[in-house]
Structure 1
């Protein structure tokens, strides 16, 4: 009998608390489900393939739940069109993230969005919303990130946005907003109002933002040009600028006259100097042309007399000029040899040559060729030999080491053999020319694939291809690091990742950073270099890990680190991604081409986290490349999309071969 009261009391608590809680949860789900179905019926375009037979919407594409509550709705790039009705967001009050970016939604700003009081991130960029920005946005006092860029919004920017004390990102560019910029007393990290119709002076609270944040308006003041006579934020003339202009003093006039005379004298001296140099160049050109005509060999930069350049063969002409320089250098070397100076110069091969075939320097110089591009260490050419072999030739520039050192380093590079490296097949050294011969990679660089032409006929890099490329690059760099604690690549970037016909990754340009002078090494593409690197010729393995992390971010976002990123805000790629991840907007960083595969989002987020780990500011906080490769292999081992690659055998090799080969 003594146990009955507690038992009854527990039963009482169950009916009082548990059952109503369960009922409330079911009610919330029903309301959220109804709201999402209202959204689907209100918009056109791409069909939202939601399985409505399921009791809850948590498994629907783009819907995110936490503790059985809908907290996120991400439908970027779905080609959704139409207007959002007022029956949607009032039943999604627990939303923390809403992303409808890059769709075709129109009409006024969603009227009941202010009911989503838990909203942290709101991205409606790239739609066709019109009308004014409502004051009701100020009710979303937990908002951290707001992007309404690239719409048709009109009217003024409401001063009530100052109430959003947690706001860190505000994008309003590419709209039709008018009036003055309000004094937004917020701690903003990212801000942009470019390409609107704003006027007046820039408020002090926004003066620390970059110039690009204000371009395309009629704005003035820091960081743009000074706007004299305009009171900050008002557009009203101040009294201090209404004074009558006075004439120049005699001293000022004399100073102007003296300055003009000095400037004229300097200009005259420059003209005389330039004309003298031009006459000298013309004389040299005539002499070189005569030599070229007599010898049948082109001098670099000089077109032989009597030869008409083919407009369609500019690349071939550039190569023949380069070949002429090498041939001239070779003749000089033979002259030195005949005088007992130096040794005979020829191509030095590694292994069995290219495809079991070897050739000499003369064969290489007679090859038809085209320029592939100019990089950090020199110009690369595609050369087709008369025997049918196709090779890639890199003509090095600014080599600062001796011949013995050059040969020693080339022997080290030539000994590197791994299926994810572009092998060095041969090299040539003379006093004036240094050439490297590689296998030719027909698909070009990863950089060209990511940032080149995205028009019709382009093969998009989907998730399976990008993650396979990431694994291939990781394996190649891991192999390099395994050759010794002091061996690193030193110049990891997307333009140094070449692709085979089956889109397998090959790492190129390894071992070259020590050949050139510091000034050339410093010219490496910005955005990839680790913050601790001060000497570009001394790059640690952990600095390679940082560069690889940036490469991963480039693969995932589709953005080039060499550009000022995120609407020209001047923020580098790692900082931009880290700010978004911190705001729980991880899915917003992904390239739209990746978002077509909704089932791979979890793997994308995992690879994103690995990239963030790699770009840690302190080197000791970064994983090793061996660990990076292991984590990517584990990620691939958990996916079931091998067949989507189109070449399963290639992926199997990446997965199951050992790290070091």
Structure 2
């Protein structure tokens, strides 16, 4: 009997030992078949190629499994060129799916009814497609949903009250559709909500009235807080006679004498008015002749060129520059310009931008030289202190730093002169004209900009011992080759309030909010936000983030926390091959830079080395990565152009 018990125990031990091995080698066969069925019935881009002989959990694009590889937990196919309707009985068989992202594709038709089987789903991203039909009430059965994004589709009909079944929902995005009818009273604890640009009508329920007006804009028939108050409907009164009709009616009752009196009085009034205008113009001319103000660089050439080649607005920069001080334009050592203040004041100009430190102008001198003139405001430094600071700033020389060429100081005006960068700013390149005709900013260009800006900032910190204090995408200027240069650095000490509340909004390190002191580490934080801006395509002060009450680093953390990093990245980057690993690496560097604890942030020279390490890998013709130590690469460590890596994919997303 004891012998049999020992045999049974050995068998049980063997089974127990065998189970982990089976788990490791497990493959979600049913989920794999469901995914293959979905892909076979849906036209898609070439990059979504699932090899039936390989593991779905290890090598299939956009697929993630649980730790035991027993079922699929996430399916992410954003901008993957998916075309047509979502086939039924495919995705719905992934019953333990938690995250589904099919955003930015060309999907059409209604959401399949069998999506009700996805009872474990937490996040559903279907925005930027062509889905249609009424609100998919089948989704109101997915009680574990926390985020539902259906924006920018063609959904119609009412928004159902049954949304209240989704008790865990915190984000609901239904904007840019054709939903109609009145808004239901949604009692969920929503953090994010948007139904703008639909056809909704009636009053906004009190349960939703705390959201900003932008959450409801574009619905002309909606009313109530936070929009305009609702007014009760009353029958319109009979129309009053028009002023012309009333005058005609009254004129019949006027006598001829009264008519003559009115005409004479009107003529006398007009003559008196003309006389007053003539006297005012004459007095103004006398004042101008007595004052003889100097010509000024114009803010915007509104009325065409005037005498001396300047535009009609003559007092935008130099309103009261005294004649004795006209030639006191101080050039920095090693400068390349030889003009004087007199030449600068005669230049035609246009506004490039207005910031918290002042207004920047593009000035074109008579000899064709183009420079940037920055007119500072709220300067508190005395002349000696101002000149000493400009000397420090002007001594910084680096290929990734915009050099200060000259400055001017008087009681009323403080001007700085810089080189003109024809390609504009990173902000304009990254966020301007995001329409159908826009050329996407490719990955290699973004990496080049990030590395150039990092080198420029490291130069300020290490060589110049200067804190920038105002890092933002509009202060990263570009050469035509997209070589980045840092501008507007080291100016904070000359202002009365070095860190005003409206400066570097969205880029400011959290400790600066409390101490009002900028440091090298706060610069690193701001640069980390700048890298997140390059990766996500979102400006830190973007309206959608401001409405949610979060900054860009917190938004990135919240998305990454949902188990899939790809949702963070700019959809424009999905057009390019073999860059996912580099994007994740740069994201990790950026998140280190925006650490809440300053001592946990790297120094800028360390950031430069980390970005260089990413750039030192390259793509071979067969799509494999190559180390920078490869003997075929140049000894200077720079990566040559990689056409295979930046050629847009053939999908239409």
Q: Which TM-score applies when normalising by structure 2? A: 0.76
Runs (5+) with no aligned partner, structure 2:
234-275, 627-632, 641-653
The change in CA–CA distance for 1:511 and 1:379 in structure 2 (over 3 A counts) is same
- Tell me if structure 1 keeps the 8 A contact 2:350–2:362: yes
- Tell me if structure 1 keeps the 8 A contact 2:48–2:80: no
Matched, 1:551 2:530: yes
Deviation at 1:143, TM superposition (A): 1.8
Matched, 1:395 2:382: no
* Aligned equivalents of 1:309, 1:497: Cα separation in 2: 28
Deviation at 1:634, TM superposition (A): 3.7
Deviation at 1:415, TM superposition (A): 1.7
Equivalent residue, structure 2, for 1:514: 493
Deviation at 1:103, TM superposition (A): 1.9
Equivalent residue, structure 2, for 1:464: 444
* Aligned equivalents of 1:89, 1:81: Cα separation in 2: 15
- Tell me if structure 1 keeps the 8 A contact 2:121–2:144: yes
Matched, 1:61 2:43: no
Match 2:421 to one of 428, 434, 441: 441
- Tell me if structure 2 keeps the 8 A contact 1:565–1:573: no
Deviates more, 1:401-410 or 1:604-613: 604-613
Equivalent residue, structure 1, for 2:318: 325
Matched, 1:426 2:426: no
Q: Give the secondary-structure state (helix, strand or coil) at the position aligned to 1:417.
A: coil
Match 1:104 to one of 98, 103, 106: 106
Deviation at 1:129, TM superposition (A): 1.6
The change in CA–CA distance for 1:391 and 1:226 in structure 2 (over 3 A counts) is closer
Deviation at 1:624, TM superposition (A): 4.2
Deviation at 1:443, TM superposition (A): 1.0
- Tell me if structure 1 keeps the 8 A contact 2:135–2:160: yes
* Aligned equivalents of 1:220, 1:329: Cα separation in 2: 53
Deviation at 1:146, TM superposition (A): 0.9
The change in CA–CA distance for 1:381 and 1:197 in structure 2 (over 3 A counts) is closer
The change in CA–CA distance for 1:168 and 1:535 in structure 2 (over 3 A counts) is closer
The change in CA–CA distance for 1:617 and 1:186 in structure 2 (over 3 A counts) is farther
Deviation at 1:316, TM superposition (A): 6.7
Q: Give the secondary-structure state (helix, strand or coil) at the position aligned to 1:599.
A: coil
Equivalent residue, structure 2, for 1:337: none
Match 2:458 to one of 474, 478, 484: 478
Deviates more, 1:465-474 or 1:381-390: 381-390
Q: Give the secondary-structure state (helix, strand or coil) at the position aligned to 2:113.
A: coil
Equivalent residue, structure 1, for 2:332: 350
The change in CA–CA distance for 1:519 and 1:8 in structure 2 (over 3 A counts) is closer
Matched, 1:604 2:583: yes
* Aligned equivalents of 1:538, 1:417: Cα separation in 2: 26
Equivalent residue, structure 1, for 2:508: 529
* Aligned equivalents of 2:507, 2:43: Cα separation in 1: 42
The change in CA–CA distance for 1:93 and 1:509 in structure 2 (over 3 A counts) is same
* Aligned equivalents of 1:385, 1:102: Cα separation in 2: 47
Q: Which TM-score applies when normalising by structure 1? A: 0.75
Deviation at 1:498, TM superposition (A): 0.4
Match 2:544 to one of 565, 588, 594: 565
Deviates more, 1:387-396 or 1:494-503: 387-396
- Tell me if structure 1 keeps the 8 A contact 2:363–2:371: yes
Deviation at 1:136, TM superposition (A): 2.8
The change in CA–CA distance for 1:311 and 1:386 in structure 2 (over 3 A counts) is closer
Match 1:187 to one of 184, 189, 194: 189
* Aligned equivalents of 1:53, 1:460: Cα separation in 2: 33
Matched, 1:581 2:560: yes
- Tell me if structure 2 keeps the 8 A contact 1:101–1:125: yes
Deviation at 1:651, TM superposition (A): 9.4
- Tell me if structure 2 keeps the 8 A contact 1:315–1:370: no
The change in CA–CA distance for 1:52 and 1:288 in structure 2 (over 3 A counts) is farther
Equivalent residue, structure 1, for 2:472: 493
Deviation at 1:519, TM superposition (A): 9.4
Equivalent residue, structure 2, for 1:504: 483
Deviation at 1:40, TM superposition (A): 2.7
Runs (5+) with no aligned partner, structure 1:
230-236, 238-276, 335-344, 656-661
Equivalent residue, structure 1, for 2:116: 114
* Aligned equivalents of 2:141, 2:157: Cα separation in 1: 19
Deviations 1:333-365 (A, max 9, x none): 27xxxxxxxxxx5333333212xx644444545
Deviations 1:630-657 (A, max 9, x none): 44334434565999xxxx99994699xx
Deviation at 1:497, TM superposition (A): 0.4
The change in CA–CA distance for 1:650 and 1:533 in structure 2 (over 3 A counts) is farther
Deviations 1:505-524 (A, max 9, x none): 11100012233343995443
Deviations 1:548-567 (A, max 9, x none): 23222221222223342259
* Aligned equivalents of 1:63, 1:315: Cα separation in 2: 67
The change in CA–CA distance for 1:529 and 1:569 in structure 2 (over 3 A counts) is same
* Aligned equivalents of 1:520, 1:322: Cα separation in 2: 28
- Tell me if structure 1 keeps the 8 A contact 2:161–2:184: yes
Matched, 1:591 2:583: no
The change in CA–CA distance for 1:126 and 1:10 in structure 2 (over 3 A counts) is same
The change in CA–CA distance for 1:6 and 1:121 in structure 2 (over 3 A counts) is same
Deviation at 1:499, TM superposition (A): 0.9
Match 2:295 to one of 298, 311, 314: 298
* Aligned equivalents of 1:22, 1:298: Cα separation in 2: 80
Deviations 1:90-147 (A, max 9, x none): 3322322211112221111122222223222101112222223333323323222110
- Tell me if structure 2 keeps the 8 A contact 1:565–1:572: no
Q: Give the secondary-structure state (helix, strand or coil) at the position aligned to 2:32.
A: helix
Deviation at 1:193, TM superposition (A): 1.8
* Aligned equivalents of 1:387, 1:311: Cα separation in 2: 19
Deviation at 1:535, TM superposition (A): 8.9
Q: Give the secondary-structure state (helix, strand or coil) at the position aligned to 1:34.
A: helix
| Equivalence map 1:207-286=2 (5 Å) | 207-217=209-219, 218-227=221-230, 286=285
Matched, 1:131 2:130: no
Matched, 1:379 2:359: yes
Equivalent residue, structure 2, for 1:93: 95
The change in CA–CA distance for 1:155 and 1:415 in structure 2 (over 3 A counts) is same
* Aligned equivalents of 2:170, 2:587: Cα separation in 1: 22
Deviations 1:552-611 (A, max 9, x none): 222122222334225955654334333323333532232111122353223323433443
Q: Give the secondary-structure state (helix, strand or coil) at the position aligned to 2:574.
A: coil
* Aligned equivalents of 1:131, 1:639: Cα separation in 2: 46
* Aligned equivalents of 1:390, 1:77: Cα separation in 2: 42
Deviations 1:183-207 (A, max 9, x none): 4332221111223333444344333
* Aligned equivalents of 1:130, 1:432: Cα separation in 2: 62
Deviation at 1:371, TM superposition (A): 4.1
The change in CA–CA distance for 1:282 and 1:472 in structure 2 (over 3 A counts) is farther
Equivalent residue, structure 1, for 2:256: none
- Tell me if structure 2 keeps the 8 A contact 1:114–1:136: yes
* Aligned equivalents of 2:400, 2:148: Cα separation in 1: 42
